[in-house]
Structure 1
Amino acid sequence: MTRRTRLTGLTAIAVAIALGATACGGSSSTTGSGSPTKGGTLTVLDHADFDHLDPQRIYTTEGESMAQEFVRTLTGWDETGSQPKLVGDLATDAGTPSKGATVWTFHLRHGVKWQDGTAVTAQDVKYGVERTFSPDINGGPPYASQWLVGGSTYKGPYQGKELGSIQTPDQYTIVFHLSQPVADFNQTTAMPGWSAVPKAHDTGSTYDTHVWSDGPYMFKSYAKNKELVLVRNTHWTQSTDPIREQNVNEIDVKFGQDQSAIDQQIKSDAGTAQTSIMQWPIAGSDLTTIGNDPSLKSRYYKIPAPGINYMAINTTRVKDLKVRQAIEYAIDKTTARGAFGGSAYGDYASTMLSPGIGGYKKFNLYSSNPAGDVTKAKALMKQAGNPKLTMSLAVENTTTEEHFADAVKTSLGKIGITVNITPIDAANYFSTVDNVKNQYDLTWMDWIADWPNASTVLPVLFDGRQIAKLPQSNQDLSYLNDPQINAQIDKIAKMTDLTKANAAYGDLDEQILKQASAVPLMYMKFTELAGSKVGGVIPDAVVAEPSLVHVYVKS
């Protein structure tokens, strides 16, 4: 997954992808102490609405985190221990591979019910996964179409056709046939796209607004860009769910405030702020003050993300390699990081793979000084003929990112490049920039691994074949479509020796950055704040969010 913006990602101290559980770092501490109380309303303050809540379209960390309250996946992450552990969620366990990890079988738990009391079946899971292939259900991760046999030509279930590589021999068994070995397939199935959807309640592209629940909470109301209200699902039972609890009566998600206003409201801890939490990071302008305030320590979350904050360079618009290299040298990462809150936000990056993720290789092809090297950048521009260029830069319409955009504009202005800043509504940002009809010269991005391996970073961000294949949900915002890189992605995907595969991914990272296709900025840490009466929060190492699966409101 993805970014903080795109689903999901995962942290890790060390990565060991196996056919069972995965070990990765992250705190499991909670806010407050003692047994959770029942009842009350948790308020979630988000500055923007979710891109999607339709499980097959979710590909943001905040969307995935919220979906855990009403959507169950085949597998999931138990984060009550010192390290996240992969377990069965709808399934009884983490799945069984066969035929060289090209066939995966899952057995569903008995007794899991939809919000109307009907049983959740393997056929519901099959239908849910098949939805991802419909052109109308766009925005989610690409793994199903990449890996399932027949996925490259299947167009979804809405015309009455099924995908033969997903078999349901009985009501509680589902079998996936893959076109290649995927040793960590059972980590993919922890993502929302591998959840069940009841055909009778599917409304296609509008399913976003009234997702049918098999989790502890269900939709009561949803006014887009204003408010989402979740209430208890009375047909959910604790005995069938190894991951979640159902402590609060209601979860009230409010959208639309400026992030800094949210920061100050929760910091004040007055009234409903005491029972409130945020999902988006603390504004850069507030981060140092809040992070250094000892009185806020017990309700301040700093979650390392196995992810990268970067700027994509559209290689089809900025065609001259010398110009792209000049941009790499010219960017002042100190001012860019300052916009996000300085050192508290994360360390300077020089690679697309972050430390702690399988495949990470330490190297730096461009300036060793994070402030950049304007002299070198000007020399490269001279080699390119000193073109007077104007470039568009896409960012979210937040104060933090607009300050970042100003930093980029200043940096590139020093080498003769004029930058026109295009702020895009945060709620629609990724659906806008991921559509190939809305191309920009430069695009702000961040990305978090969907699980702790380079296979969920480099192929997703730099496989150029997805540009034509996924025109409405293209993640390759560098528009890099290099046959050699594409071929190497395919070669690594077939490797069953993970040590060799990781080494190859590290080399691929360097090969990609030699194309000056993206400017790595920071290895991210995400920071959020909760009110003093919010308990049971787990810093979620998998999606780099404060997890609400055990949340309660203190009486």
Structure 2
Amino acid sequence: MTRRTRRSRTVALAATAVVIALGATACGGSSGDSGSGTPGKGGTLTVLNKADFDHLDPQRVYTTEGQSMDQEILRTLTGWDESGSKPKLVGDLATDTGTPSKGATVWTFHLRHGVKYQDGTEVTAQDVKYGVERGFSSDINGGPPYAAQWLVGGSDYKGPYRGKQLDSIRTPDKYTIVFHLKQPVADFNETTTMTGWSAVPKAHDTGSTYDTKIWSDGPYMIKSYTKNKELVLTRNTHWSQATDPIRQQNVDGIDVKFGQDESAIDQQIKADAGTAQTSVQQWPIAGSDLAQLANDPSLKSRYHKIPAPGINYLAINTTRVKDLRVRQAIEYAIDKTTVRGAFGGSAYGDYATTMLSPGIGGYQKFNLYSANPAGNLAKAEELMKQAGNPKPTMSIAVENTPTEEHFADAVKTSLEHIGIHVNISPIDASNYFSTINNTKNQYDLTWGDWIADWPNASTVLPTLFDGRLIKKNPQSNQDLSYLNDPKVNALIDKAATMTDVAQRNATYGRMDRQILKDAAVVPLMYMNFSDMSGSKVGGVISDTILAEPSLVHVYIKH
């Protein structure tokens, strides 16, 4: 998933592996309550974000901020209860986590009775079916690829707007939905925690404009939404705590304000005056502020350091930077110490040498390039010499924020040492991922970060590096390096059919190594995300699946 970014998956995963992987990532973070105070009902929570969401439409959203906000508005078939020491998979719209049959190629879910939309009508299995189906339409692009990859007939289905249904989604009655898959997917019920498996009532579907008109079945509903300025949520009076095992409805409303500079948000929440006392941020603390704020003892009770199951990286476009030696030279030339400094230093995360991060099933520790995180210029210069000493000019895409532009400057400085000139292309943060994921917009170098959709390699490497998906997803391509290596593709196919966890994880480890041999990406940091809340905000949970401050139990202290 994208940033913070969200990601994808493609395999059978034994439940034990999920538990192990989750346990490994679900550590650290905040206590779940920003200091002392009495949990209360009422008040308004303010969320301060530097930019608007790419999408809130449940079938289109693929950023962690968007998915986190959607948890206040929408229910999914299954979900994560993160009120304990580690995330627990539970039924959300469904009564339980689903029943697999026929070798995990058929999955059946029974819906809770009495889950209501904002107009008091009941959520049905047919609404869930319609919601999943609309994600196949070319007008509703940008979301995860699982439905198209896994559902029988999904690769040819074009969505419901042409009057056709997808026969592999069956609804034998109002409360039962059955999915027929092309292959065994033992952890399909973890995929269904994502918003693409939310209900959308056909009568209220507004197509490509649904982002601002979502029909709520969660605790909050959209009162008003002015893009790039403000989103105001108010209580859904038909939501019932008795039907919802994950969320609470403590505050009267949520007011999301967009467009302030990251550092200005940091300083506002740090100062803790006025509405800042009842505010929280979703985007991470600015790199320029992180080291100072992370070490400020006065902020400890309202500072949330959330370990992310993910990676911050630089993608090298292999179709534009065709010479392997030049790409390898870039690997050696990048000074990760200055790069990490732009994001806030050691508090941001450890230096990365692999695309899979520690704690994700399939991670293997290896390093094919510089042992020194500051780089190895001698080796980089030698490789450029072998390539004929080209003096290329390359474009780098980054978000138009101070943190990202400082990062781009660090990359530019590193590469100028080996004769590569870099032009920086800042892109508006609210449109960043929809811009770089469109194959019309190709850059030589692209900043990206990726958080596993759930903690297994199958939600990272197949999505980011299966070159066969580039043509299938021209408007939502996640393969920023445009890598289409038959060796990698073969390993993806092999892993997808494996039911033995150890064997499959070993295959993902080999895949990771091959991607680095191709010098398709420069892994930069294994990430932590740090956020703050005001002194009157309570009930913030560290969401270690999305690496966001979860608001599902949030309250205002009185």
TM-score under structure 2 length normalisation:
0.97
Residue 410 of structure 1: aligned partner:
413
Residue 5 of structure 2: aligned partner:
5
Shift of 1:21: 11
* Farther-moved stretch of structure 1 (16-25 vs 159-168): 16-25
Structure 1: give runs of 5+ residues left out of the alignment.
none
Residue 174 of structure 2: aligned partner:
171
Distance 1:271 1:8 in 2: 40
Shift of 1:88: 0.1
Residue 484 of structure 1: aligned partner:
487
Residue 223 of structure 1: aligned partner:
226
Q: Secondary structure at the match of 1:158?
A: helix
Say yes or no: does 1:242 pair with 2:245. yes
Contact 2:38 2:557 in 1 (8 A): no
Amino acid at match of 2:271: S
Residue deviations 1:217-268, cap 9 Å, x none? 0000000000000000000000000000000001000000000000000000
Residue 112 of structure 1: aligned partner:
115
Say yes or no: does 1:292 pair with 2:295. yes
Residue 233 of structure 1: aligned partner:
236
Contact 1:7 1:64 in 2 (8 A): no
Shift of 1:32: 3.0
Residue 440 of structure 1: aligned partner:
443
Change (3 A) 1:529 1:15: farther
Distance 1:524 1:144 in 2: 28
Distance 1:20 1:367 in 2: 31
- 1:358 pairs with one of 338, 352, 361: 361
Residue 459 of structure 1: aligned partner:
462
Measured on the aligned residues, the alpha-carbon RMSD in Å equals 1.5
Contact 1:51 1:60 in 2 (8 A): yes
Shift of 1:35: 5.1
Residue 526 of structure 2: aligned partner:
523
Amino acid at match of 1:150: G
Distance 2:179 2:22 in 1: 21
Shift of 1:15: 9.0
Residue 322 of structure 1: aligned partner:
325
Instruction: Tell me the percent identity.
Output: 79
Shift of 1:289: 1.0
Contact 2:350 2:527 in 1 (8 A): yes
Distance 1:20 1:359 in 2: 12
- 2:208 pairs with one of 205, 208, 221: 205
Distance 1:512 1:340 in 2: 25
Q: Secondary structure at the match of 2:234?
A: strand
Residue deviations 1:165-184, cap 9 Å, x none? 10101000001111011111
Say yes or no: does 1:265 pair with 2:268. yes
Residue deviations 1:499-553, cap 9 Å, x none? 2101110111001110000000000000000000000000111100000000001
Structure 2: give runs of 5+ residues left out of the alignment.
none
Residue deviations 1:32-65, cap 9 Å, x none? 3465200000000000000000000010010010
Contact 1:8 1:59 in 2 (8 A): no
Residue deviations 1:78-126, cap 9 Å, x none? 0111010000000000111111111111000000011100010000000
Runs of 4+ in 1 over 4 A off after TM superposition: 18-24
Change (3 A) 1:33 1:114: same
Residue 47 of structure 1: aligned partner:
50
* Farther-moved stretch of structure 1 (324-333 vs 15-24): 15-24
Distance 2:557 2:7 in 1: 30
Say yes or no: does 1:93 pair with 2:96. yes
Q: Secondary structure at the match of 1:222?
A: strand
Shift of 1:17: 3.5
Contact 1:15 1:357 in 2 (8 A): no
Shift of 1:484: 2.1
Contact 2:15 2:187 in 1 (8 A): no
Distance 1:158 1:22 in 2: 38
Say yes or no: does 1:160 pair with 2:145. no
Distance 2:365 2:101 in 1: 35
Give the total of aligned pairs: 551
Amino acid at match of 2:3: R
Residue 68 of structure 1: aligned partner:
71
Amino acid at match of 2:17: I
Contact 2:8 2:462 in 1 (8 A): no
* Farther-moved stretch of structure 1 (425-434 vs 479-488): 479-488
TM-score under structure 1 length normalisation:
0.97
Residue 277 of structure 2: aligned partner:
274
- What does 1:177-192 correspond to in 2, within 5 Å? 177-192=180-195
